[in-house]
Chain A
Amino acid sequence: MSGVVPLLDAADTSLFGSKAVGLGQALRDGLPVPPGVALAGDVVDAVAGRDEDAIRRVAEAVQGLQGSLAVRSSAVDEDGADASFAGQHLTLLNVRGADELTAAVSDVWWSANSDSAITYRQRVGLFTRPSVGVVVQVLVDPETAGVMFTQNPVTGADERVIEASLGLGEAVVAGRVIPDHYRVSRDGAVLERTAGRKDVAFRSLPEGGTFEEQVPADLVETLCLDDGELAELGRLATRCERVYGPARDIEWAIAGGTLYLLQCRAVTRAGT
């Protein structure tokens, strides 16, 4: 087994996958990423096979991570230029305890080896054995979260597009709410703010997993980001572009007043 490393040290895409290496690079560049651990594909394979040595190594590596965990796939060929496995490969939130972590890593392995993932692989000409890295991170418990495009993905305009909702960002990513919509110029001027309809918020359960909470009526159509938070998101966009290049698709969260970067990848459909 070649790899269980702090996320900060994840640098080899062929071992850890693009998500882990992208987050590792973000940490190395001082971006505000929650701490975590990267598991190489062979370690994930061994954990899924209930190899005791691999399970012990992973358990030791995550001992320093406080609170509940997010377990995300980081397949080696995930988010490639011609193929995106988003929707096939799994993310599990609010994972607690060693047994649940082993089961979550196993679930991620199977998500990359599911019928739907294999069908997708056949369709895009990637009919090879999936190698699935995993990122285990501290799960932030956000007041607000969402996505941000550093360049308008629809018009291609040089402006930030931000979508935000209450609670965990999965409500936005999974399309469970109409998020608040903002457009912010590169120099920080707010060009548009449109309240969405945020009926539900995803929250962590004390015993693990998540649930959908009904949002109080007075907050459903109330904007959830203020000018200070929009300015901070704009600064994050600038820093991400400096590190990764233009046209980034960012997942973010604000927890305890701190802005976190959860994921940063290239916008694959700009202008369409």
Chain B
Amino acid sequence: MSAATAAVLARVPLFADLDEAELERVASVFKERRFAQGETVIQQGSGAAAFFVIDSGEAKVLVDGVEKRVMHAGEYFGEMALIDAGTRTATVKAATDLLCSGVTFWDFQPIVEANGVIGWKLLQSLIGIYRSEREAQGGSG
């Protein structure tokens, strides 16, 4: 997939510690996905299959049916799906015809399994995210 995808991945906190080659390795398994205007991209409460980067178009983010913001090209959503295929915490709808690059849990997992360095860096990033959220809530860790 494109260098543009790797550039977006560099801004994702989960991938913050990956170097350029590692980012390109992850970006290489992305696949293009198109959505028609009005189509639901991900549904709050649903199981999560993939992480997406927006290549072109706009998407609305809704939580409990309330619109929270609009995302544009270069923004991303759903990265935690790559770790646990857990539950979506928001709905994303295509506000215009939308072109994304996405990677599924299934395609991401073998990269991590085959590359301990990437796996270790992801663990460190996850801990960093966890600490930040703990601190934001007034906890310690």
Q: Would you call B106 and A113 a contact (CB within 8 A)?
A: yes
Report the minimum CB–CB distance from B116 to chain A (whole Å).
21
Q: Is the CB of A113 within 8 A of B104?
A: yes
- Knowing A48-B31, A106-B31 are in contact, say whether A115-B42 is a contact too (CB < 8 A): yes
B residues less than 8 Å from A118 (CB atoms): 47-49, 85, 105
Query: Which residue of the partner chain A has the closest CB to B30?
Result: A49
Most buried by A among B29, B46, B102: B46
Closest B residue to A130 by beta carbon equals B106
Is the Cβ of B33 less than 8 Å from the Cβ of A115? no
B121 within 8 A of A: no
Closest Cβ of chain A to B114, distance in Å, is 15
Asked if residues A103 and B34 are in contact (CB atoms below 8 Å), the reply is yes
**Chain A window 96-112, contacts with chain B (Cβ cutoff 8 Å), 1 for yes, 0 for no:** 00000001001101100
Q: A231 contacts the other chain (Cβ, under 8 Å)?
A: no
Nearest CB in chain B: distance from A255 CB, A: 28
Q: Which of B20-53 contact A (CB under 8 A)?
A: 29, 31-34, 42-43, 46-50
B47 → A minimal CB distance (Å)? 4
Q: Could you tell me if A113 and B50 are in contact, using CB atoms closer than 8 angstroms?
A: yes
Q: Which of A42-71 contact B (CB under 8 A)?
A: 48-50
Is the interface on chain A under 10, 10 to 19, 20 to 34, or 35 or more residues? 10 to 19
Q: How far is the CA of A116 from the CA of B44 in the complex (A)?
A: 11
Task: Contact check, A113 vs B47: say whether CB atoms are below 8 A apart.
Answer: no
Most chain-A CB neighbours within 10 Å: which of B34, B46, B49, B106? B49
In the complex, what's the smallest C-beta–C-beta distance from A99 to chain B, in angstroms? 12
| A106 near B32: Cβ-Cβ < 8 Å | yes
Evaluate contact between B31 and A49: CB separation under 8 angstroms.
Answer: yes
A114 touches B31 (CB 8 A): no
Q: B72 interface residue, CB < 8 Å from A?
A: no
| B interface residues (Cβ-Cβ under 8 A, vs A) | 29, 31-34, 42-43, 46-50, 85, 88, 102, 104-106
- Which 9 interchain pairs have the tightest Cβ spacing? A119-B47, A129-B106, A118-B49, A115-B46, A118-B47, A113-B104, A48-B31, A115-B49, A110-B33
